[in-house]
Every structure is written in structure tokens, then in C-alpha cells.
A and B are shown apart, each in its own frame.
Chain A
Amino acid sequence: AQRVTQPEKLLSVFKGAPVELKCNYSYSGSPELFWYVQYSRQRLQLLLRHISRESIKGFTADLNKGETSFHLKKPFAQEEDSAMYYCALSGLREYGNKLVFGAGTILRVKS
């Protein structure tokens, strides 16, 4: 079965502090992992995916297959990072474009 766990409902940090949003997954096959972000009153949008290994808006995420984790990190939080963040998993060969989402973490960056 596919499952994504985001243990924190809310993460509150001060501007300039490091951020780590946790994501753990369960999947027997070869997963593809994503982070999606939803800013206030905007649509859900892709932030980054593990196969691209990019840094988007200063965020990075590394897939750790041993720990089955895909934590999202940013060294210095900015107020505009405040949003809802979803970790998602896809098992392409078996499931096409089906995404399994975690419950989401609200990131609040305080000034």
C-alpha cells in the first residue's frame, strides 16, 4: 500500500531560521516523490520532485530510501514561504499519475 506521513500539522518558525518539513512514505515499489505547495487563495502547485534534484525558491529535498523519507529543507525561511505544504508519492509504473498525498503541514514564518 502507498502511504505518506507528514507528522507536523503546523510548523512555526522565525524569519531567517532554518526550516525542515518532514515526510515519510511507505511504498513497496520504486516511488517518485513530490512536494506541492498551496499559498493563500492560490491553486495547488508543484514545488519540486526528487528526480529533478533542483532547488526551487531555496528549498531542497533529498530522497532517503533507507529511511523512506523525503524531508523538505530551506536554510533561511522567508515570510513569503508561509503556506500549506504537501508531500506526495507516485508509483508511475503501476499507478500512472495517481498521487497519494500526506495530510499537509502549515508553515508559518513569523517576522
Chain B
Amino acid sequence: KAGVTQTPRYLIKTRGQQVTLSCSPISGHRSVSWYQQTPGQGLQFLFEYFSETQRNKGNFPGRFSGRQFSNSRSEMNVSTLELGDSALYLCASSWDSSGNTIYFGEGSWLTVV
């Protein structure tokens, strides 16, 4: 079965713009989480959605937001981009929100110039 799919894989944006990243979880998975990966801060949790509800949120400013649709697909949005938002954004899915194995996508590489 298909793994977690993220689009776009690579993108370049200008400071001040906004960006939307998309994630399609593994079929049947209802939990989707997002992580930011940078060389300096490593892997940091952004948020988790389960059945269209935000289950948990990390310590990121309000410019970072997300949502989940009824088909479990998820999007995350970053508004007013800053240079420091340049990172690999990873999406992960799981059957539910109670500790089943979490599967990661390949990520979306965002460069802010």
C-alpha cells in the first residue's frame, strides 16, 4: 500500500509570502502529525490532527497552522515566511492517536529567500 505522500517535494519562497504543504496519509490512517527538521533544532513537533481535530500542538508561533480534511488528508500553512522557516517539513501518519506505529513521508523541502 502507498506510503505517506507529501507535496510539493521542493519549493522556494520569498520572505513575507505564505506556503501551503500537503500530506496524504496511508490509507486508513486517521492521525496526521507534522514536524519541522532543521540542522540547528533537529526534529520538532508542530501539531497532530486526528479525525479533523487538532490533538496536540508544539511550541511554534501562530504563523504555523494546519488542518485535516474528512478524508484524513492534511495541509499545513506557514504565513509571513521568515528565513528561519527554511527547513524540511515532515508529515507522519498513524492508525490512531494512541501510539500505533507512526510512518513518515519523505518531506517537503522549503527554502525561504
Residues of A within 8 A of B (CB): 32, 43-46, 49, 86, 90, 92, 95-104
Contact = CB atoms under 8 A, between A and B. Distances in A.
A97 B43 contact: no
A44 B90 contact: yes
B56 A95 contact: yes
A102 B42 CA distance: 8
Interface string B37-71: 00000111100101000011010000000000000
Contacts, number: 57
B42 A97 contact: no
A103 B42 contact: yes
B18 interface: no
12 contacts: A43-B105, A44-B104, A46-B101, A46-B102, A97-B31, A97-B55, A97-B92, A97-B98, A98-B56, A99-B33, A100-B45, A104-B43
A98 B58 contact: yes
Contact of A96 (B42, B56, B105): B56
